[in-house]
Chains A and B, each alone.
Chain A
């Protein structure tokens, strides 16, 4: 089967930095994606890694280690609007497998 694991919930303070981890075991790998999903809304694309290393995109960065089956999403200078669920997804050939999501609560 395909396993993608992320913490269920995290809490962080406005202005701080938070790291959301994702580990995966899949039969194939064509890329790792992070999506943001606000309550009651559809997921929206945040970042993509296919090679090992760090991809930086403004306040958000994502890291991948293929040998370890591990990725993280780093959110800097947290804002209240960053309160949302963050979904880790692995592209395996043409199918995307999603984790259950990490609900991030940003408090003042």
Chain B
């Protein structure tokens, strides 16, 4: 597509529930990133994919968080047993293959855990 698409734009869930957040990157971008942003803070790195594999998942806060990108395009961030502290905007970005490797962000998913 023309830009990075994220769905849903808003997700309200109850503590303990499971959620999936979807990201459709720019066509041809092999690198895909997930970030989390809390109010008044900069984006916090979660995980980076190069193609289908998770090249770096060191930012995932714990084992309740998992992400996949099975065909090297669309990615899904999965959060199990959600907690109130998971509430944030989850941003997905893909990066241009040629330098500068600037990030193109989606509009984000606002996750609210009640």
Chain A residues with CB under 8 Å of chain B are 4, 31, 33, 35, 41-45, 48, 50, 87, 89, 91, 94-101
Q: How far is the CA of A7 from the CA of B44 in the complex (A)?
A: 18
**CB proximity to A under 8 Å, residues B10-52:** 31, 33, 35, 40-45, 48, 50
Please tell me which one of the listed residues B31, B33, B43, B48 contacts residue A87 in the complex, with CB atoms under 8 A apart: B43
Residues of B within 8 A of A (CB): 31, 33, 35, 40-45, 48, 50, 55-56, 91, 99-108
Task: Name which residue of chain B comes closest to A98, CB basis.
Answer: B42
Would you list the 7 A-B pairs with minimal beta carbon distance, nearest first? A98-B42, A42-B105, A48-B100, A45-B102, A100-B42, A98-B43, A101-B42
**Is A31's CB under 8 angstroms from B100's CB?**
yes
Q: Is the CB of A94 within 8 A of B42?
A: no
CB of A56 to closest CB in B, whole Å: 15
Q: Which residue of A lies closest to B110 (CB)?
A: A40
Closest Cβ neighbor of B45 among chain A residues = A95
Chain B nearest CB, measured from A92 CB (Å)? 10
| A87 CA to B91 CA, complexed, in Å | 14
On whether A96 and B40 interact (CB within 8 A), knowing A33-B100, A42-B91, A48-B102, the answer reads no
Q: Are A94 and B56 in contact (CB under 8 A)?
A: yes
Q: Do B103 and A45 have beta carbons less than 8 Å apart?
A: yes
Are B101 and A31 interface neighbours, CB within 8 A? Answer: yes
Known: A4-B42, A42-B106, A101-B41. 18 other contacts (CB 8 A): A31-B101, A33-B103, A41-B107, A42-B105, A43-B91, A43-B103, A44-B105, A45-B103, A48-B100, A50-B99, A87-B42, A94-B31, A94-B55, A95-B48, A97-B45, A98-B44, A100-B41, A101-B40
Residues of B within 8 A of A31 (CB): 99-101
Residues A94 and B105 in contact in the complex (CB < 8 Å), given A42-B91, A48-B100, A100-B40: no
For B44, the closest partner residue in chain A by CB is: A98
Inter-chain contacts of B43 with A (CB < 8 A): 43, 87, 96, 98
CA distance A101 to B37 in the complex (A): 11
Chain A residues within 8 Å of B55, by CB: 94
Bound complex: CA of A41 vs CA of B31, how far in Å? 22
